[in-house]
Chain A
């Protein structure tokens, strides 16, 4: 009798837990404010503790990285030395090109992202779990003017967008995330499309919506390999932030659209410092969905970037 009573009580509590979880899921889906604030409060409360433990254990983490990533670090070091030599030679040319680019933007009435107010932030940690590979946490938050939806860049180009903000920290969803659509423009052809990360390869980005395949296979209609890809004017981000360079162009879905593979400009796997653009050019809410124009007749129903 007592055993049956105990079993019934256990079952009752389990059902109660399941119902509680379902209720929380429902509230979270509906973006109930107090729930978000409570989660943010928990993270704010724990962040100093996590920071202290992180500092205390940094020798252990460093030793672990050195032990397992030594070969990678050596190879990367050699690669960086070679790149540095090349960059040094290109420095003067680049300065001239940047100046020419700025003049061109000014003449075209387009904003230059370098003039927008930014907040420089350090990356305090990478992905915390085993399922969220495409996020990093930065040490700037609401108190520093960071808002959800803001673009995050480095000197190389677009890194991602702010996905979540707490008082002193924020989580950045990286441009390599397949679930983060970005409106982009091919500089060579001036066509606008919608792209996203590949997932398996953090250095690649694919534009698979919005750019029609030319009816007569005209080779001049394709962007050449190595040409620049930047954020589109109608994107949720400020226009003309470098995204990467074209690697290849091939037929996409049913041969109606171009499938443009892009090498990302910014190395999102090894970030130390980033800049959050804290004001947009249009002065609109940063999370607003702005549709990317889809050429008629592509059969592609590409709409706007996701939430």
Chain B
């Protein structure tokens, strides 16, 4: 793992979320890039790495959210951890499968975030509006994962073993999968 690269990707996602996805939305819904980073990192690094990176990404996002500091950190950390636990069960490493899991994990992350926020007194977070929000976020993040997952792969340093066992369980990723810029 290359922490500097990974940190740059996380901060980059935050900046893009703040600068671009305030306006670029689908049906009024923005992708949840930080949640997606947590999930795809979990899928690549395993549960431990997913939890740590998810926690850090969520903590950074918390700085901008109306909920108390730590809510998104907790939610995204758990999402990264869960994604890492699911990783050994993957039958193959097809690109669509990762993208789908990225979308699903992001949707799960925002549900957990909404529940934690609701418990802490932000009652507006848990409403019927959450249902379409989760569906749209899942769909958008599945598409965004097609770009973000290779970027995370590059940040982690290729090749990276996958699996929730910390890297012992499964084979290497296909070489085409990892982004390898020439600069």
Binding site for B on A (CB under 8 A): 3, 6, 9-10, 13-14, 17-18, 20-25, 27-29, 35, 39, 42-43, 46, 49-51, 53-54, 57, 60-61, 64-65, 125-132, 135, 178-179, 199
Q: Specify the chain B residue showing the minimal Cβ separation from A36.
A: B69
Q: Specify the chain A residue showing the minimal Cβ separation from B74.
A: A21
Give the residues in chain A near B19, CB-CB below 8 Å: 50-51, 53-54, 57
Give 6 A-B pairs besides A14-B48, A28-B70 with Cβ atoms closer than 8 angstroms: A17-B77, A129-B32, A129-B61, A130-B29, A131-B125, A135-B66
Partner of B23, one of A20, A28, A65, A199: A65
B interface, over-half SS:
helix
Contact between B77 and A128, CB atoms less than 8 A apart: no
Distance, CA A18 to CA B68, complexed state (A)? 15
Judged by a CB distance under 8 angstroms, whether B52 is at the interface is yes
Contact between A25 and B120, CB atoms less than 8 A apart: yes
Give the residues in chain B near A10, CB-CB below 8 Å: 47-48, 166
Partner of A24, one of B32, B66, B70, B165: B70
A interface, over-half SS:
helix
Contact between A127 and B124, CB atoms less than 8 A apart: no
Partner of A131, one of B16, B23, B66, B77: B66
Contact between B74 and A28, CB atoms less than 8 A apart: no
Give the residues in chain B near A126, CB-CB below 8 Å: 22-23
Q: How far is the CB of B182 from chain A (nearest CB, A)?
A: 23
Q: How far is the CB of B44 from chain A (nearest CB, A)?
A: 16
Distance, CA A129 to CA B113, complexed state (A)? 12
Distance, CA A57 to CA B17, complexed state (A)? 12
Give the one of B14, B30, B48, B137 with max A CB within 10 A: B48
Contact between A6 and B63, CB atoms less than 8 A apart: no
Give the residues in chain A near B113, CB-CB below 8 Å: 131
Give the residues in chain A near B17, CB-CB below 8 Å: 128
Contact between B20 and A25, CB atoms less than 8 A apart: no
A-B pairs, top 3 by smallest CB distance, nearest first, are: A24-B70, A53-B19, A21-B74
Give the residues in chain B near A21, CB-CB below 8 Å: 55, 70-71, 73-74, 77
Give the one of B19, B69, B81, B110 with max A CB within 10 A: B19
Distance, CA A135 to CA B22, complexed state (A)? 12
- The interface bits of chain B over 135-164 (1 if a CB of A lies within 8 angstroms of the residue's CB, else 0) are 001000000000000000000000000000
Contact between A39 and B63, CB atoms less than 8 A apart: yes
Contact between B125 and A128, CB atoms less than 8 A apart: no
Interfacial residues of chain B within 19-35, with CB under 8 A of chain A in the complex: 19-20, 22-24, 29-30, 32
Judged by a CB distance under 8 angstroms, whether B94 is at the interface is no
Instruction: Return 29 A-B CB contacts under 8 Å, by A number.
Output: A9-B48, A10-B166, A13-B48, A14-B47, A20-B55, A20-B70, A21-B55, A21-B73, A24-B59, A25-B74, A28-B69, A29-B68, A39-B69, A46-B15, A50-B18, A57-B19, A60-B20, A60-B24, A64-B24, A65-B23, A126-B23, A127-B22, A128-B65, A129-B64, A130-B137, A131-B114, A132-B66, A135-B66, A178-B124
Distance, CA A199 to CA B67, complexed state (A)? 17
Contact between B69 and A25, CB atoms less than 8 A apart: yes
Known: A10-B48, A17-B77. A130 touches B30 (CB 8 A): yes
